[in-house]
């Protein structure tokens, strides 16, 4: 008899069980499905099938995600940069561009991306990367970026890993151009953040302070490490390093740093860092080295490399050292060092970085003391350069006296090829200097009078006063008149004279200096009293037109020459 109520199947197992013979009243032999444990068996198998299906779908999803990451359009830009082809056949431009891209992407990447890149591409290849022309920059960037990521522990750890691996091969890497740069960056950052790399910094400091690095002091690459240490070391480390270097600077040891091509750079660095030192012990050792250099300056200025040390004292040395060097040693040796190939460079720097009193004393006691001395300096192949520089820095009174000496030699035909160069240089610069000084004196008078009038008035009050009355318009008219009389009219005269060679030729150099000074005057007045926008635009248009005319005049002048 059939069941009047419809059977509701809750699962596939229920539906399958109701179809078996035992459930339909059949007398057929029981099958495997008639077992009492059939529910448990089918439920377990179904669960395993579902797990297998989920695992399969998960694997497919992972594969799809992997394929997406391998596509340059979807994978992170940092990883994409490091997976780019860096083979040797790629051009220098592409290698440089990709190296910069790596640095930029790493600096702006998230911590997790940096971690993946460092562990995948960097960690096991640090030595090779430090030797590479392009990839050593990324190591410097990793070392540098770590200083800004205080919260994230990764970057300082990466920095220490890099510095540890490089230190293990330091004897080889310190003489390599690119690995040396990585070490310098490491020393700089470790000195700024010693709490992050105490062990590494101490290991490097101990190596630098060993007294058996004599060959490294004069090595083309390795000496840069000692220069960097002089910059970043402080306290006891700097004092000990200066004591070691002091043994090999003008102390008759097995090597002499002051006369070596690369060792002199270390001495220059000592001169450079002296004003920055706070530690008194370090300052005393550095001062002793510099005083020893000054005492031996007469010999050093004539050597190929040591003359740069004297130039360094003149350029960046302390004022006391510079004064002592100039007054006690260089001024009495000026003539002899000026005629020397290397000493002439020091003579030029002495003139440039000394004061007016020293130049006046040099002119009166050494240069113009006799006609023979002056003639010797002017006609010498090396000394004529510092003599030109001296003429350039002398006052107008002494320039006239200088020019008078030159004129006598020129009239007597005592000037050789080098002397003729000095003669032409003096003539040209004397005319321009005299003309510009005349223009400057007039401008200074005008500017001073304007400043005295408005000394008690603020800039806003001046602008408001000019706007509220007619003085502003009158001032514009005055500027326009001055501009036409002093700027446009000489230009027209010059053009007419160039078209009529019979007339007297206008001095082109004087006129060029006049234009320059007039332009400076206009901008000074423009700052003092702002003009209207329309007038300023007209002035710019006039400037462009006159620039074109000036080019034409230069061509005419060149053709006439």
Shared domain for 96 and 178, answered yes or no, is yes
Q: Which domain holds residue 535?
A: 456-560
- Asked whether the predicted pLDDT for residue 238 surpasses 50, the reply is yes
- Asked whether the predicted pLDDT for residue 510 surpasses 60, the reply is no
Specify the pLDDT at position 376.
92
Phi-psi region of 235 (alpha: psi -120 to 50; beta: other; left: phi over 0): left
Out of 414, 433, 453, pick the residue that ends a domain: 453
Shared domain for 147 and 98, answered yes or no, is yes
Out of 190, 208, 226, pick the residue that ends a domain: 208
- Asked whether the predicted pLDDT for residue 74 surpasses 50, the reply is no
Specify the pLDDT at position 226.
95
Specify the pLDDT at position 555.
59
Annotate 439-503 with three-state secondary structure: HHHHHHHHHHHHHHHCCCCCHHHHHHHHHHCCHHHHHHHHHHHHHHHHHHHHHHHHHHHHHCCCC
Confidence of residue 278 (pLDDT cuts 50, 70, 90): confident
Q: Residue 59 falls within a domain, yes or no?
A: no
Measured distance CA(364)–CA(358) in Å, rounded:
10
Separation in Å, CA 471 to CA 5, 349, 457, 533: 113, 50, 16, 17
Alpha helices in 148-197 (DSSP H): 154-168, 170-173, 177-192
Listed range (55-64, 201-210, 291-300, 523-532) with the worst mean pLDDT:
523-532
Measured distance CA(83)–CA(70) in Å, rounded:
10
Specify the pLDDT at position 52.
66
Listed range (47-61, 173-187, 319-333, 336-350) with the worst mean pLDDT:
47-61
Contacts of 449-458 spanning 24+ positions with Cβ under 8 A: 450/525, 450/528, 450/529, 451/528, 454/528
Q: Averaged over 48-75, what is the pLDDT?
A: 56
Contact by Cβ (8 Å): 192, 147 = yes
Number of domains in the chain: 4
pLDDT digits (tens, 9 = 90+) for 335-375: 999 999 999 999 999 999 998 999 999 999 989 888 888 99
Shared domain for 297 and 393, answered yes or no, is no
Number of H helices, E strands in the chain: 31, 0
Q: Residue 30 falls within a domain, yes or no?
A: no
Measured distance CA(444)–CA(86) in Å, rounded:
63
Q: Residue 11 falls within a domain, yes or no?
A: no
Q: Averaged over 249-276, what is the pLDDT?
A: 90
Contact by Cβ (8 Å): 185, 145 = no
Distance spanning both ends of the chain, measured CA to CA:
133
If you search the block for the tokens 């359009």, which residue do you land on? Answer: 73
More confident residue, 220 or 211: 220
Specify the pLDDT at position 206.
94
Shared domain for 256 and 343, answered yes or no, is no
More confident residue, 415 or 275: 415
- Asked whether the predicted pLDDT for residue 528 surpasses 60, the reply is no
Shared domain for 554 and 474, answered yes or no, is yes
Q: Averaged over 313-326, what is the pLDDT?
A: 93
pLDDT digits (tens, 9 = 90+) for 145-185: 855 444 333 457 889 999 999 999 999 999 999 999 999 99
pTM of this structure = 0.63
Q: Residue 5 falls within a domain, yes or no?
A: no
């Amino acid at each position: 008899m059939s069941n009047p109520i419809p059977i509701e199947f809750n699962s596939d197992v229920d539906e399958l069980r109701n179809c078996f013979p035992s459930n339909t009243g059949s007398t057929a032999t029981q099958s495997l499905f008639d077992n009492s444990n059939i529910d448990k068996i089918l439920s377990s198998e179904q669960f395993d099938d579902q797990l297998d299906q989920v695992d399969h779908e998960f694997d497919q999803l992972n594969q799809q995600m992997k394929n997406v990451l391998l596509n340059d359009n979807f994978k992170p830009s940092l990883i994409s940069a490091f997976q780019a082809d860096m083979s040797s056949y790629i051009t220098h431009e592409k290698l440089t561009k990709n190296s910069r891209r790596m640095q930029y992407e790493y600096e702006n990447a998230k911590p997790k991306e940096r971690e993946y890149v460092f562990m995948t591409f960097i960690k096991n290849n640090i030595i090779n990367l430090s030797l590479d022309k392009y990839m050593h920059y990324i190591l410097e960037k990793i070392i540098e970026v770590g200083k800004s990521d205080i919260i994230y522990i990764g970057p300082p750890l990466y920095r220490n890993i890099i510095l540890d691996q490089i230190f293990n091969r330091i004897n080889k890497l310190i003489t390599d151009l690119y690995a040396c740069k990585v070490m310098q960056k490491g020393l700089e950052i470790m000195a700024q953040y010693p709490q992050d790399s105490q062990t590494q910094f101490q290991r490097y400091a101990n190596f630098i302070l060993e007294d058996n690095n004599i060959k490294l002091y004069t090595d083309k690459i390795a000496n840069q490490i000692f220069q960097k240490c002089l910059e970043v070391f402080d306290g006891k480390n700097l004092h000990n390093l200066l004591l070691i270097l002091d043994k090999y600077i003008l102390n008759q040891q097995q090597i002499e740093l002051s006369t070596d091509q690369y060792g002199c750079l270390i001495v220059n660095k000592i001169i450079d860092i002296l004003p920055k030192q706070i530690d008194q012990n370090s300052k005393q050792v550095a001062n002793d080295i510099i005083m020893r250099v000054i005492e031996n300056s007469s010999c050093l200025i004539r050597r190929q490399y040591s003359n740069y040390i004297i130039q360094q004292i003149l350029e960046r040395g302390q004022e006391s050292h510079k004064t002592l060097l100039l007054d006690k040693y260089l001024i009495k040796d000026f003539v002899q060092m000026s005629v020397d190939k290397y000493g002439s460079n020091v003579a030029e720097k002495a003139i440039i970085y000394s004061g007016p009193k020293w130049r006046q004393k040099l002119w009166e006691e050494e240069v113009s003391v006799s006609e023979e001395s002056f003639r010797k300096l002017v006609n010498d192949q090396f000394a004529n350069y510092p003599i030109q520089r001296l003429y350039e820095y002398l006052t107008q009174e002494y320039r006239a006296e200088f020019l008078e000496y030159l004129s006598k030699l020129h009239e007597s035909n005592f000037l050789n090829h080098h002397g003729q160069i000095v003669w032409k240089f003096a003539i040209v610069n004397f005319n321009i200097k005299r003309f510009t000084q005349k223009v400057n004196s007039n401008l200074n008078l005008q500017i001073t009078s304007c400043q005295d009038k408005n000394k008690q008035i603020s800039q806003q009050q001046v602008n408001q006063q000019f706007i509220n009355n007619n003085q502003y318009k009158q001032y514009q008219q005055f500027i326009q008149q001055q501009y036409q009389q002093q700027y446009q009219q000489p230009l027209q005269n010059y053009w007419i004279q160039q078209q009529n060679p019979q007339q007297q030729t206008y001095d082109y150099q004087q006129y060029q200096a006049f234009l320059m000074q007039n332009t400076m005057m206009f901008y000074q007045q423009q700052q003092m009293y702002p003009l209207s926008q329309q007038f300023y635009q007209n002035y710019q248009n006039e400037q462009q037109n006159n620039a074109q005319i000036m080019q034409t005049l230069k061509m005419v002048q060149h053709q006439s020459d």
